Amino acid sequence: MPSFFCRRCNTLVPPGAGRCPRCGLGKKAVAEDEAIRPEVRRRVPRAKEGQGTFPYPYRPYQERFVSEAKDALASGKHIVIESGTGTGKTICSLVSALDLAKETGKKVIYLNRTISQSDQVMRELRVIAERRKVIGLPLTGRGKSCLFMREAEFEGGIPPQALSRFCEEKKKRTKSGAEGGCGYYANLISSMDGMFENYVARELPLAQEFDDFCADEGVCPYECRKLLSDKADVIIAPYIHVLSEDLREQFLDRIGAGLDDVLIIIDEAHNLVESAREAESFHISVAELRAGDVELNEKGGSDLGHGITLSQLSDAVTDIILSSLVEMPPDRSEVELGRMFLEGELARRLELRVEEVRTLGVNAFNLGQTIAEEKLESGADPTSATLLLGRFLTSWFTVNDKAYVKAVSTEGSGSLEAINLVPEELERFLAACPSVLHMSGTLRPLKQYSEVAGLPKGPVMVTYPSPFPPENRLVLFTPDLNPAYDVMRQDPTMHGRIVERIVDLCNSVNVSTMVFFRSYELMRQMRVEVERGVTRRMLWDIELSSGMFSRAVREFRSKPGGVFLTVTGGRVSEGLDFPGKELEMVIMVGLPYPPPSLANRKLQELYDRRYGRGKGWEYAQAVPALRKVQQSIGRLIRTETDRGAAVLLDSRISKYVEQLDAKRSDDPVAEVQRFFGVRR
Three-state secondary structure call for residue 508: helix
Quote the CA–CA distance of 5 and 215 in Å, as a whole number. Answer: 24
Three-state secondary structure call for residue 110: strand
Whole-number pLDDT of residue 41:
36
Whole-number pLDDT of residue 467:
85
Measured in degrees and rounded to the nearest 5, phi and psi for residue 540 equal -115, 130
Whole-number pLDDT of residue 35:
33
Quote the CA–CA distance of 55 and 124 in Å, as a whole number. Answer: 9
The upper half-sphere exposure of residue 430, i.e. CA atoms within 13 Å in the direction of its Cβ, equals 30
CATH numbers and ranges of domains, the chain: 51-130+233-240+260-273+435-464 (3.40.50.300), 282-420 (1.10.275.40), 470-675 (3.40.50.300)
Quote the CA–CA distance of 515 and 530 in Å, as a whole number. Answer: 11
Q: Taking the CA atoms of 43, 47, 53 and 59 in sequence, report the sign of the dihedral they define.
A: negative
- Most confident range (mean pLDDT) of 289-293, 468-472, 601-605 is 601-605
- Most confident range (mean pLDDT) of 12-21, 84-93, 217-226, 642-651 is 642-651
239, 272 contact by CB (below 8 A): yes
How does pLDDT run across 89-107, given as a tens digit for each residue? 999 999 999 999 999 999 9
pLDDT at 36 over 50: no
**Bridge partners, 80 (sequence order):** 438, 461
How does pLDDT run across 170-179, given as a tens digit for each residue? 888 898 888 8
571, 549 contact by CB (below 8 A): yes
Lowest mean pLDDT segment, chosen from 92-101, 238-247, 559-568: 238-247
Pairing, β 513-517 against β 563-567 = parallel
Give 26's pLDDT tier (boundaries 50, 70, 90).
Answer: low
| More confident site: 121 or 35 | 121
Whole-number pLDDT of residue 40:
37
**Residue range 377-382: mean pLDDT, rounded:** 77
417, 277 contact by CB (below 8 A): no
pLDDT at 514 over 50: yes
Helix, strand counts (H, E) of the chain:
30, 20
Whole-number pLDDT of residue 635:
85
pLDDT at 37 over 60: no
How does pLDDT run across 608-650, given as a tens digit for each residue? 999 999 899 999 999 999 999 998 898 888 888 899 999 999 9
Quote the CA–CA distance of 12 and 14 in Å, as a whole number. Answer: 6
DSSP letter, residue 11: P
Of the chain, the percentage scoring pLDDT greater than 70 comes to: 89
The upper half-sphere exposure of residue 8, i.e. CA atoms within 13 Å in the direction of its Cβ, equals 25
Whole-number pLDDT of residue 39:
32
Measured in degrees and rounded to the nearest 5, phi and psi for residue 149 equal -65, -40
Quote the CA–CA distance of 51 and 54 in Å, as a whole number. Answer: 6
pLDDT at 488 over 50: yes
Give 409's pLDDT tier (boundaries 50, 70, 90).
Answer: very high
How does pLDDT run across 42-80, given as a tens digit for each residue? 345 665 555 678 999 998 899 999 999 999 999 999 999
